[in-house]
A and B are shown apart, each in its own frame.
Chain A
């Protein structure tokens, strides 16, 4: 299974190699979607892939080591009432999560393909894209 989580690091938790441990001890595939960490702590958004049991154990390990863990269902959300389907986002999306439907010329948004890199957020003229962290 796959899940996206937001990690909150306190200053104490910053020095631990948590990502490495998730990979080596809990056999998880870790995709770092965002990371903003310095000596006083920070945030990281991870996509974890692996067995459900391993993901649960990995999250327990993080919590036991002072890392705040909050699951997120989706990183980026589109407000369909605001989108004007110009498609300015289409050419800048690195994972092709935003594409044109060639029939209707509407812009389609695939939450599955989105890695929450957020490049579309400030590129959207009517500000229809929102990042939820």
Chain B
């Protein structure tokens, strides 16, 4: 059943019965996932070129790998910093079946004599088009607000002055990693719903930080785990892969991820029974321009999703960066795929290390870095 249905089932029947009767719980999330991108193999032209600089619809892609491979990042912008159309938008255009302009230049070699190429490519013409994201699907995320006297434009959206609003970014109780807080069933090799297709978890996500404070039930109270994922862009749908613009911040990829969690035992059932009133996050003041902002307040997702929280005696309207509507839709779709036998669930090839820590970046000498 879906995570939403499972919580209602546990409420009515208890954890014991749920652990006995329910095999799989499907979760979902849809939100801005910046650390995303796609790699391509364009095929060789005649005469061939060893691409040294590559642009897809004017957005630079990284090609410091083999001759006709390139990686396009979701947050990459063109030379004019046009935030309405970045790497994420090119990825969405490709998923929509559009053709995009490929330009490449090179210095030319004996084996790759061509020095420039200007052509069009689409998902039909390229050999591989693979979404490869190094940090997605955050397990919990901070909430943002703004105490200053001017509007702030951030990756948490538009934050109005004098605590005018607060934004958050998690699907809460139906979000994948909040239902498996200790990563028992989600690890390297886990099959996932990714952008409408099936993909895989390939590693822990960057900034993986399982050691943050947790609630009595074990749910992290701060951004903790994250996933590195991979999937075939050619199989994905623009319903779940979207280019997003955060004004004066940049672009990001709106991406849908769903994970089916097997109810191994009563502990797993207890974890998946977690509800929004038991999931806590911290509200930060984004006018404080520091790596380690002070926690203004801890709130639950039940409070955040009520549409209003209280901050410094003020009623502050809240809203989300991630789409609950789409998150629910993904958990429903995944449930149906599991029921039809189209989505296989396996044990992770390897579990994540709980020892990872999240370090900052200091200005240091060569010696200090060693």
Binding site for B on A (CB under 8 A): 84-92, 100, 104-107, 119, 122-123, 125-127
Contacts and interface: CB of A to CB of B under 8 A. Distances in A.
Contacts of A89: 319
Contacts of A127: 84, 245
A85 B325 contact: yes
A126 B242 contact: yes
Nearest to A92: B165
A98 to B, nearest CB: 9
B242 A123 contact: no
Contacts of B326: 84-85
A91 to B, nearest CB: 4
Interface of B: 30-32, 84, 157-158, 160, 164-167, 242-247, 252, 254, 307, 317-326, 328
Contacts of B252: 125
A125 B321 contact: yes
Contacts of B317: 90-92
B307 A105 contact: no
Nearest to A89: B319
A49 B249 CA distance: 40
Nearest to A96: B317
Nearest to B145: A91
Interface centre among A91, A100, A107, A126 (most CB of B within 10 A): A91
A122 to B, nearest CB: 4
A127 B245 CA distance: 7
Given A92-B158, A92-B160, A105-B324, A126 B254 contact: yes
Q: Which of B166, B317, B328 has the most CB of A within 10 A?
A: B317
Contacts of A85: 323-326
A91 B325 contact: no
Given A92-B158, A123-B158, A127-B84, A84 B254 contact: yes
Contacts of B324: 85, 87, 100, 105
